[in-house]
Amino acid sequence: MAEFDFDLFTIGAGSGGVAASRRAASYGAKVAICEGSRVGGTCVIRGCVPKKLLVYAAQYRDGFEDARGYGWDAQTPAFDWPSLIARKNMEIDRLNGIYITMLKNSGVTLFESFGRIVDPHTVEVDGRRYTARRILIATGGWPTKPNIEGIEHAVTSNEALDLPTLPASVLILGGGYIAVEFAGIFRGLGADVSLMIRGEHLLNGFDDDIRIALEGEMTKRGIRVLSGTRPTKIEKTADGFRVTDHHGQTHDVGLVMAATGRHPNTNGLGLESIGVTLDKAGAIPVDEWSRTSVESVYAIGDVTNRMALTPIAIAEGRALAETLFNDTPTRIGYDNVPTAVFSIPPIGTVGLSEAQARAAHAKVDIYKAGFRPMKHTLSGRDERVLMKLVVDGETQRVLGCHMMGMDAPEMMQALGIALNCGATKRDFDRTIALHPSTAEEFVLMREKVPDPA
C-alpha cells in the first residue's frame, strides 16, 4: 500500500494552485486539489478576467465618441449594465468549466470544498482526511477594508463586479491598481466617480511621471481625485451613502467601494496548529523554493505576498512542480516582470522606476516622449501619451520602460524580453522604427532629460 493517499495535496484552485497541480500530475505525481469557492480563483472568477471584460465595455464610450472625427455619424447608444454582467458571468462560467475539465484531464482529483490542514501530511475536506507527502497552500488573497465606522456599507472589487445596477455615482477608497481600474470602468460606463486617497498621487510605487500623467488624464475624463484625504465614517442615506472625511467634509454617493489592498487568505487553514510561520501581514513566508517553515508544506501565489500577480503565481507553481516532481530544481526571477494597470488610458511598465534606479545606480539617464497619439488628431480627443526609458548611465543598459497611454500593456510584454536580454539604449536606437505606431517612440528617443540639480 502507498505510504500516502497523494504525492501532492493543493489547497486552493486558483491560477497558481491549478498550474502547480497540473504540472505535477504531468510528471506522474498523484495529485489532489481542493477549492472552497469556485475553481479558477481570484484571477478568473473575480479579478483579472471579469475586470478586463468590464474595461473593454467601458472603452466603447471612447470608440463611439472618437468615431465622429472619422466621418461616422455615431451617437453614443444607451448602455445596459445587467446585460453586460450577464454576459460577463457566462464567460466566467465557461472558464470555470474549462478549468475543471483541465484538472480532470490532467488526472488531478478535485474536491470542490474547503480544506484544512490537520497535520504536516494530512488535509481534511468535508470531514474526510487525506494524507499527502507534500501539501501546497495556494489560497490567494481577499480584499481588505479600512477599519472605519460604517465600513460594512462599502463594497469591494468582489461585489463591484456583480452589482445589480450601475450606480449614478461612486466613491472609491484607495488609489492602487484596483481603485484606478474600477474608476475607469465606472466612469466609462457613465457614473460620476471620485477617488479618495490618503497620499498625494495615485499608484504609489509606480514611476512618478507616469502616475502624475495618468492622474491628469483621469481628471480630464471627469474623475475627481481627493488627495490627502481619509474616510472616517460611512452612513446609509435614503438614496445612497454619505462618506465623511477627516477634513469633516461629506460626500453623498450611490456606491462606496473599498479598494484599499488585499490580505493573504490564511484564516482557518490550521497553519498555526502545525507550526507554519506567518508574517505580520498574515502571509506565509517562504524561501526561494517556496518552502514554508514546515518541511512538507509549501506555499505559492498571493498567500505568500511576494508579488501579487497571476503570472507570478503560475510561474511559482510550475517551478515548484519542476523541483519536486521532475528533478529539475527551478526558481523564478522577480526582476523585469512586466505589469499593466488597465486604467483608461492604461499603464504598462517593466523594470525600475526612475526613483528606484536612482536609489540603486550612481548615474541614471532618463529619456521621455510625451505627445498626442495619431489617432486623436482626427478624433479630437484631448489625450496624451507618455513614454519613458530609465537607463543606467554607466553601462547604458535599459533599466526600466514605462508608458501611460493606449496599448501600453501590449508593448510591455515585448519590452520585458528586451530587458531580460540586457538590452542597452544603443540596442533600442539601432532597432528600426515600426511606422506609424506609438511604439516606435521607444526606439526614437534621442534627447536625455537634463539631470536633476
Q: Which residues line the annotated binding site for FAD?
A: 52, 115, 302
Cell 553601462, located at residue: 395
390 near ligand NDP (CB under 6 A): no
182 near ligand NDP (CB under 6 A): no
234 near ligand NDP (CB under 6 A): no
Q: How far is the CB of 348 from ligand NDP (least distance, A)?
A: 10
Stretch of 55-63, 125-133, 255-263, 357-365 contacting ligand NDP, by CB under 6 A: 255-263
233 near ligand NDP (CB under 6 A): no
Scan residues 281-310 and list those touching ligand NDP (CB under 6 A): 308-309
Stretch of 23-31, 171-179, 241-249, 430-438 contacting ligand NDP, by CB under 6 A: 171-179
Of 38 and 46, the one with the shorter C-beta distance to ligand NDP is 46
Cα angle value 181/186/191 (rounded, 5°): 150
Q: How far is the CB of 347 from ligand NDP (least distance, A)?
A: 9
The order of strands in the sheet holding 169-173 is 224-226, 192-196, 169-173, 255-258
In whole angstroms, what is the distance from residue 45 CA to residue 209 CA?
A: 33
**Choice among 121, 247, 251, 435 that is catalytic:** 435
Residue numbers belonging to the annotated binding site for NAD(+): 174-181, 261
204 near ligand NDP (CB under 6 A): yes
Stretch of 30-38, 198-206, 278-286, 293-301 contacting ligand NDP, by CB under 6 A: 198-206
Q: How far is the CB of 417 from ligand NDP (least distance, A)?
A: 18
Residue numbers belonging to the annotated binding site: 52, 115, 174-181, 261, 302
In whole angstroms, what is the distance from residue 105 CA to residue 48 CA?
A: 25
Joined grid coordinates for residue 27: 510528471
Stretch of 84-92, 174-182, 218-226, 438-446 contacting ligand NDP, by CB under 6 A: 174-182
Contact with ligand NDP (CB under 6 A) among 123, 341, 369, 418? 341
146 near ligand NDP (CB under 6 A): yes
Contact with ligand NDP (CB under 6 A) among 107, 216, 261, 370? 261
260 near ligand NDP (CB under 6 A): yes
Of 22 and 306, the one with the shorter C-beta distance to ligand NDP is 306
Q: How far is the CB of 234 from ligand NDP (least distance, A)?
A: 12
* 453 exposure class (CB count in 10 Å sphere: 0-12, 13-18, 19+): exposed
In whole angstroms, what is the distance from residue 42 CA to residue 142 CA?
A: 8
Contact with ligand NDP (CB under 6 A) among 68, 198, 233, 375? 198
Asked if 361 is an active-site residue, the reply is no
Q: Which of 42, 36, 9 is nearest to 264 (CA)?
A: 42
Contact with ligand NDP (CB under 6 A) among 31, 57, 171, 179? 179
In whole angstroms, what is the distance from residue 53 CA to residue 140 CA?
A: 22
* 106 exposure class (CB count in 10 Å sphere: 0-12, 13-18, 19+): middle
Element (H, E) at 91: helix 81-105
Query: Count of residues binding ligand NDP (CB under 6 A)?
Result: 24
Residue nearest ligand NDP by beta-carbon distance: 176
Q: Quick check: 300 and 278 in contact, CB under 8 A?
A: no
**356-364, long-range: CB < 8 A, 24+ apart:** 356/400, 357/390, 357/392, 357/399, 357/400, 361/392, 361/393, 361/394, 361/399, 362/393, 362/394, 363/392, 363/393, 363/394, 364/390, 364/391, 364/392, 364/393, 364/399
Q: Which residues contact 51 (CB under 8 A, 6 or more apart)?
A: 157, 161, 181, 182, 185, 342
Of 29 and 43, the one with the shorter C-beta distance to ligand NDP is 43
* 384 exposure class (CB count in 10 Å sphere: 0-12, 13-18, 19+): middle
- Chain residues in the site for ligand NDP (CB under 6 A): 146, 173-179, 181, 197-199, 204, 230, 259-262, 308-309, 339-342
Active site residues: 435
